[in-house]
Amino acid sequence: MKSIIPLTLTLAIALPASAAHAPKGLAEKLTAALPGLTVDALNQTEVKGIYELVSGKDVAYVSEDGRYMFQGILFDIENRKNLTEARLDGIRAKSLKSIKDEDTIVYAPKGAVKETITIFTDPSCPYCRKLHKEIHELNKAGIKVRYVMYPRDGIQSQAGKESLSILCSKNRLEELDKAMNGQSNTNTSCENSELEKSNLEKFIQLGDEMGLQGTPYIINSDGRAIPGYRPAKDLIQEIGRL
């Protein structure tokens, strides 16, 4: 999890209505102590005297008097529930709404769609290629796959050029299949190349904000993340449990 303080120093101060449920003056005290901090929400946690602070894509916790702030996982042992991850799921689900199908590469099942997952992928990533070989198994299980290109080494890297080439192509499915089979294509010249470059930059930023630390990075429609490779049969079972 990234530190909340450096991220939010560049943001404008905002005190939404949801902050009114916190102790009076707590939001103001926090923004006074941390200039530039955005308070999107302050929620009472199940721990007395501890409040959940939501700031952009970050979650932190503050004491009732505003003196202490910490980041980490708040886990309900009795109910065996990761409360922090549950909040992050909601934030990721909201972010997913900013990704349109037409900006992704979609592999859809022939029948009814039972679930939709979004996968941040890199054509140079061995485990992304391994998972790609099993996409048809996900489709057979009624899972729709939306690929988001995420070159781990940036747009100027070989994978970045390949990603842009895929997005620029008339047949993205065909070009992605080729790339996942090791057939490199770095022809980034197309009518919408600047738009696709802008989209790629947006996806890289969005992946970082969602907590991506490696590819493939899989997110279901509720915003729950499954980092790393899973065999298709295991992934289908895990998605079914989410």
Q: Quick one: 139 and 34 in the same domain?
A: no
Question: Given pLDDT bands bounded at 50, 70 and 90, which one contains residue 5?
Answer: very low
Q: Is residue 26 part of a domain?
A: yes
Specify whether 112 is located in the same domain as 208.
yes
Q: In this predicted structure, what is the pLDDT of residue 191?
A: 67
- Domain endpoint, select from 49, 83, 117: 83
Of 14, 48, 83, the residue at which a domain comes to its end is 83
The CATH number assigned to the domain holding 15 equals: 3.10.450.70
Average confidence (pLDDT) over 35-44: 90
Q: Kindly state whether residue 93 falls inside one of the protein's structural domains.
A: no
DSSP string, 104-129: SEEE--SS---EEEEEEE-TT-HHHH
Residues 210 and 109 in one domain: yes
Q: Say which residues have a Cβ less than 8 Å from residue 48's Cβ, sequence separation at least 6.
A: none
Q: Find the mean pLDDT for residues 193-220.
A: 91
**Strand 75-76 relative to strand 81-82, pairing:** antiparallel
Give the model's pLDDT for residue 22. 81
Q: Is residue 127 part of a domain?
A: yes
Average pLDDT, the chain: 87
Instruction: Check whether residue 179 and residue 138 sit in a common domain.
Output: yes
**Using the 8-state DSSP alphabet, how is residue 17 labeled?**
G
Q: Which residue has the higher pLDDT, 242 or 31?
A: 31
pLDDT tens for each residue of 167-184: 998 899 999 999 999 887
Residue 96 lies in a domain: no
Query: Where among 83, 114, 146 does a domain terminate?
Result: 83
Domain count across the chain: 2
Q: Are residues 131 and 76 in the same domain?
A: no
Q: Mutual orientation of helices 172-180 and 158-168 as an angle, nearest 10°?
A: 150
Residues 114, 54 within the same domain: no
Domain-embedded: residue 90 = no
| Rounded Cα gap, residues 72 and 80, in angstroms | 16
Q: Does residue 68 sit in the same domain as residue 106?
A: no
92 within some domain: no
Is the residue at 74 inside a domain? yes
In this structure, are 120 and 170 located in the same domain?
A: yes
CA dist 82 to 85, 95, 169, Å?
Answer: 5, 20, 42
Task: Specify whether 133 is located in the same domain as 222.
Answer: yes
Statement to judge: residues 155 and 217 lie in one domain: yes
Give the pLDDT band of residue 242 (cuts 50, 70, 90).
low
Query: Does 203 score more than 60 pLDDT?
Result: yes
221 falls within a domain: yes
| pTM: predicted TM-score of the whole model, two decimal places | 0.79
Which residues form the domain of 198?
Answer: 101-241
Residue 176: give its domain's CATH number: 3.40.30.10
147 & 64 share domain: no
In the chain, % of residues over pLDDT 70: 89
**107 and 79 within one domain:** no
For residue 88, count CB atoms less than 10 angstroms from its CB and return exposed for 0-12, middle for 13-18, buried for 19 or more: buried
pLDDT of 12 above 70: no
Give the total residue count for the chain: 242
Cis peptide before 216 (omega within 30 of 0): yes
pLDDT value for 209 = 86
